[in-house]
């Protein structure tokens, strides 16, 4: 396969994997912490009010979704690309971090969640990229 096609496909599939991870974990969080009846997503004031009243456990599901998505998305991108792991980690992690920051700006979040997300997402992407790099080079991090 043409390397440019492989790298483009790797990045796109990494982002798709991250999105699937976010949707899955946040759906699980919504099952454990159901949304209030009648919440209208088209009304920003209702969303802001809901965010301010969310229990800590529900927010932990949100954080877990973002951080695990960064790790999983980067891992998928690096596994498909089989080269340039740091570029794929930077790309996938950067896109996810930018999307998360947009979410953090649009809706109020507790300070601990903001700090954890801004530190956790790039860290997860970096670690997944390093793991893939070691694995692709036959290093110890790639061994079970």
- Tell me the C-alpha to C-alpha distance, in Å, between residue 76 and each of 9, 33, 107, 130: 10, 29, 29, 13
**N residues, the chain:** 144
SS percent in the chain: helix, strand, coil, step 5: 80, 0, 20
pLDDT for the residue 99: 96
Per-residue pLDDT of the chain (144 residues), as tens digits, is 788 998 999 999 999 999 999 999 999 999 999 988 888 878 878 888 888 888 999 999 999 999 999 999 999 999 998 888 888 889 999 999 999 999 999 888 999 999 999 999 999 999 999 998 888 777 554 444
pLDDT at 142: 45
Q: By the 8 A CB rule, do 70 and 125 touch? A: yes
**pTM recorded for the entire structure:** 0.86
How far lies 80's CA from each of 7, 15, 21, in Å? 8, 12, 17
């Amino acid at each position: 396969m043409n390397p440019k096609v492989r790298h483009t496909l790797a990045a796109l599939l990494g982002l798709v994997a991250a999105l699937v991870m976010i949707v899955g974990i946040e759906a699980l969080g919504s099952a454990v912490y159901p949304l209030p009846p009648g919440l209208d997503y088209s009304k920003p004031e209702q969303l802001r009010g809901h965010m301010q009243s969310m229990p800590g456990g529900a927010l932990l599901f949100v954080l877990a979704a973002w951080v695990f998505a960064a790790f999983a998305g980067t891992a998928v991108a690096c596994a498909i690309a089989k080269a340039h792991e740091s570029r794929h980690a930077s790309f996938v992690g950067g896109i996810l971090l930018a999307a998360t920051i947009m979410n953090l700006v649009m809706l109020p979040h507790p300070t601990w969640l903001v700090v954890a997300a801004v530190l956790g997402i790039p860290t997860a992407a970096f670690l997944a990229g390093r793991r893939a790099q070691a694995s692709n080079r036959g290093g110890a991090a790639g061994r079970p």
